[in-house]
A and B are shown apart, each in its own frame.
Chain A
Amino acid sequence: MKNISKKLMAMGVACTMLSGGIVSSAMAEELRMTIWSANEGHLALFNGIADGFVASHPDVTVKFDSLPFSNYTTTVTTQIAGGNAPDLAWILETTAADFVNSGALYPLNDALNAAEGYELSDVSKPPLGLWSKDDAILAMPFSTSPFAMFVNNDLIKAAGAQSPAELIAAGEWNWENAIKTASAVGATGKGGLIVRDFKYQNWKNLASIWSGWDAAPWSADGKDCAFAEPEMVSAMNFIHDAIFEKNAIPGPGESVDFFAGDAALTITQISRASLLPKENGFDWDLVPLPAGPAGEYSLIGQAAIGVFAAGKNAELAAEFLAYMTNPENSAKLAQFFPSIRGSLLNAKTLGETNALLSEDQLKKVVIEGIANGSVIPGHTGFAQIEQIVRAGLDAVWVPDANVEDALANVCSRIQPLLTR
């Protein structure tokens, strides 16, 4: 009998502790933000910013959930479908239209206006356009990273070709000459030009080349396919020729890494400077993208932070977002992610946090790139369009391709999706 009463008491204590735990956990609010970086430096920076927020909100905890980049959006939407939406998420520029138009995001205007010292007027308006709908700001771009070209001068010198710096000095930095240099290095058995992350799948990265022809995948309003337009056909023929005739771009199914010293040139975002080898490196340079037949141009990638309306703590999450992107924290973020705040877009401020890049490189590539750059293409229902275009462009990536027919075929397949 004594034993039974002891057991009952123990159960009672356990239940009390359990219910206490439940009550206290209900009082403490956890904000969860999905990100696609697992970089230690990025996480340390985010956690440092979160600590500052938690200091003024003792009942709040902030957790950063790193998801693999390759399936990032799929994982986030699956979490939403499973009723486990994150409170905040990084969002890619290509999926901006889907997220902004779906009503999934919580409007941020009130939180941004209420945040002390936020200085919304300091934020450049054009980059905000992609993330706004009917005057409502639905996500805040925190990283606007221009595409540029990294150069391995050692390989170029060994091939006896002209380096981009020499071509820039001579006023001849254009795609014809860039491909000549890449082709000369390709002839030595090394890689010529790598469009990083393209891999004959991620075709939107080719915008870093075709923009020089003033080509675009669809019209500005997104309703008409432009793959079959003369500018795009010309640009794609140029790329096809560079791959299969001039051996200037490694072909499909070939794996070459610029940052391992195996290629002359690579087009990527400047944040990839962190991949440059620390030891036994090579003589590298960073230059703007070459001019195309349509003149000079630049391309930028964007990432924004949004708050999910379906999240449990949308209002609090919006408050955290405002804190995370306030002037002070934007300056901290700028060491990895170029800001769209005008006050931070100068060579001096960027130079303080980008030790690898010279003031001249920052001015020519980052500041001018962000000021004049067009954003990498995106569209409502982009994932589906992306797959269909990918399948259609496979017909281009063969030596004897009829580029014009293949591009016309791409248009016939995606046109119904663009107008739906």
Chain B
Amino acid sequence: MSQASHIVAKSPRAFWTIKRRDQVAGTLFIAPQLIGIIVFVLIPLGLVFWYSLHEWNVLANSFKFVGSANYKMLLADPALPEVLTATGIFSAGLVIFNMSLALLIAVLLNQKLWGIVVFRTLFFSPVVVSLVAWTIVWSFLLQNNGGINAVLQTMGIEGPNWLRNPGTAMFSIIVVQVFKNVGLNMILFLAALQGVPKELYEAARVDGASAFKQFRRITLPLISPTILLTSIITIVGSLQVFAQIAVLTQGGPGMSTTVLVYYLYQQAFQFHFFGYGATLSIMLFIIVAVLTFAQWQLRKRIVFYEN
């Protein structure tokens, strides 16, 4: 018996066990995605790190290993505090404004009223509009002699020079971005709101809970996984803002709207410091990774349940 099983074990057919076949099949199924990630994410990431260790002069066609010199330059860069401040203001403003407005619209639109679908579509429609086209239209509206100030003038108000004033330029960019993407978060919140069981509200009403208390004690806890998801998406997205800055302010006035990605673009593609640009990319990658990790850890405190 033992000899027979020994012979069976030695048979070449035994190599393709069900487990191995499943493993190969599974690998083949995910291969297209895996190859995509390797080619378009992991290899470029590795290359960016490699470039960050070099001084790459495109015009002179020189590529010189400089070790940590670019990282030392990063720490000594006098413009970096201004850039990080602008990035922080943009991200904080966008996240707070975008998420609270998205939630407000979602709550208002989470009703069974005639024609409500039209309003949902209207609020979502900017999401599918071309970003650059959207921003160019806003650039005309925000000019000193543009549409917004013309409307304000009819009400006897002299509007500020929105894009040329350090106090209003960043605010304008945040508003343009919020109105562009608020529909996406709104749809996510709307889906989450519609998943909250109606019986809970009925029970709360019977117990005499006010509308605000119902929102605070029932709605918010039950949509907390969506809040976490949208906050991660919005923060990561806010760190990648570029087109709006390039079209509306080119980083000005002064450096007030020069956020990290725009600064990175300037260093690499306008000033031809590809090595330093790569170093800034690594910093951006670390910031995004840390923020995402921190938010993920926070879920234990702010998310009340997970599917």
| A390, B270: Cα distance in complex, Å | 14
Contact A98 B250 (CB under 8 A): no
Select the stretch in A72-80, A213-221, A358-366 that faces chain B: A72-80
Contact for B272 among A255, A383, A387, A390, CB less than 8 A = A383
| A77, B267: Cα distance in complex, Å | 13
Contact A252 B164 (CB under 8 A): yes
- Neighbouring A residues of B164 by C-beta, 8 Å: 200, 252-253, 394, 397-398
Contact B59 A80 (CB under 8 A): yes
Contact for B270 among A255, A387, A395, CB less than 8 A = A387
Q: Give the size of the chain A interface in residues (CB under 8 angstroms).
A: 30
Contact for B144 among A78, A254, A381, A395, CB less than 8 A = A254
Contact A383 B144 (CB under 8 A): no
Closest Cβ neighbor of A387 among chain B residues? B266
A253-B143, A253-B162, A381-B271 known; A104+B252 contact, CB < 8 A: no
| A201, B161: Cα distance in complex, Å | 15
- Neighbouring A residues of B59 by C-beta, 8 Å: 77, 80, 98-99, 102-104
Contact A74 B60 (CB under 8 A): no
Is B163 close to A, CB under 8 A?
A: yes
Min C-beta distance of B26 to chain A, whole Å: 33
Contact B252 A384 (CB under 8 A): no
Tell me how many residue pairs across A and B have CB atoms closer than 8 Å.
78
Is B254 close to A, CB under 8 A?
A: yes
Interface string of B118-152 (1 = CB under 8 A from A): 00000000000000000000001011111000000
- Neighbouring B residues of A252 by C-beta, 8 Å: 144, 161, 164
Interface string of A379-399 (1 = CB under 8 A from B): 001011001001110110110
Min C-beta distance of B184 to chain A, whole Å: 29
Q: Which of B59, B164, B251 has the most CB of A within 10 A?
A: B59
Interface string of A233-260 (1 = CB under 8 A from B): 0000000000000000001111100000
Is B65 close to A, CB under 8 A?
A: no
- Neighbouring A residues of B57 by C-beta, 8 Å: 102
Closest Cβ neighbor of B163 among chain A residues? A253
Is B255 close to A, CB under 8 A?
A: yes
Contact A255 B145 (CB under 8 A): yes
Is A27 close to B, CB under 8 A?
A: no
Min C-beta distance of A249 to chain B, whole Å: 13
Interface string of B188-231 (1 = CB under 8 A from A): 00000000000000000000000000000000000000000000
Closest Cβ neighbor of B56 among chain A residues? A81
Is B269 close to A, CB under 8 A?
A: yes
Min C-beta distance of B307 to chain A, whole Å: 44
Contact B269 A77 (CB under 8 A): yes
Contact B58 A254 (CB under 8 A): no
Min C-beta distance of A224 to chain B, whole Å: 20
Interface string of A44-85 (1 = CB under 8 A from B): 000000000000000000000000000000100110110000
Closest Cβ neighbor of A256 among chain B residues? B145
Contact for A103 among B61, B142, B161, CB less than 8 A = B61
| A35, B52: Cα distance in complex, Å | 31
- Neighbouring B residues of A253 by C-beta, 8 Å: 142-146, 161-164
| A77, B274: Cα distance in complex, Å | 11
Range for the number of chain B residues in contact with chain A: 20 to 34
Interface string of A6-28 (1 = CB under 8 A from B): 00000000000000000000000
- Neighbouring B residues of A201 by C-beta, 8 Å: 250, 252
- Neighbouring A residues of B266 by C-beta, 8 Å: 384, 387
| A395, B165: Cα distance in complex, Å | 10
| A254, B139: Cα distance in complex, Å | 11
Is B93 close to A, CB under 8 A?
A: no
A103-B61, A253-B144, A254-B145 known; A390+B269 contact, CB < 8 A: no
- Neighbouring B residues of A99 by C-beta, 8 Å: 59
Closest Cβ neighbor of A386 among chain B residues? B270
Min C-beta distance of B138 to chain A, whole Å: 13
Interface string of B259-271 (1 = CB under 8 A from A): 0000000100111
Contact A391 B255 (CB under 8 A): yes
Contact B252 A310 (CB under 8 A): no
Min C-beta distance of A140 to chain B, whole Å: 18
Contact for B254 among A77, A255, A394, CB less than 8 A = A394
Contact A77 B252 (CB under 8 A): no
Is B253 close to A, CB under 8 A?
A: yes
Min C-beta distance of A31 to chain B, whole Å: 20
Interface string of B140-177 (1 = CB under 8 A from A): 10111110000000000000011110000000000000
A253-B164, A391-B251 known; A74+B270 contact, CB < 8 A: yes
A-B interface, 3 closest residue pairs, ranked by CB to CB distance from nearest: A253-B144, A102-B59, A394-B253
Please list 28 pairs of residues, one from A and one from B, whose beta carbons are closer than 8 Å in the complex, sorted by A's number: A77-B269, A77-B272, A81-B56, A102-B57, A102-B60, A104-B59, A200-B164, A201-B252, A252-B164, A253-B145, A253-B162, A255-B140, A381-B271, A383-B272, A384-B266, A384-B270, A384-B271, A387-B266, A387-B270, A390-B250, A391-B253, A391-B254, A391-B255, A392-B254, A394-B164, A394-B253, A397-B253, A398-B164
Additional 6 contacts, C-beta under 8 A, given A384-B266, A398-B164: A80-B58, A251-B161, A254-B145, A391-B251, A391-B254, A394-B253
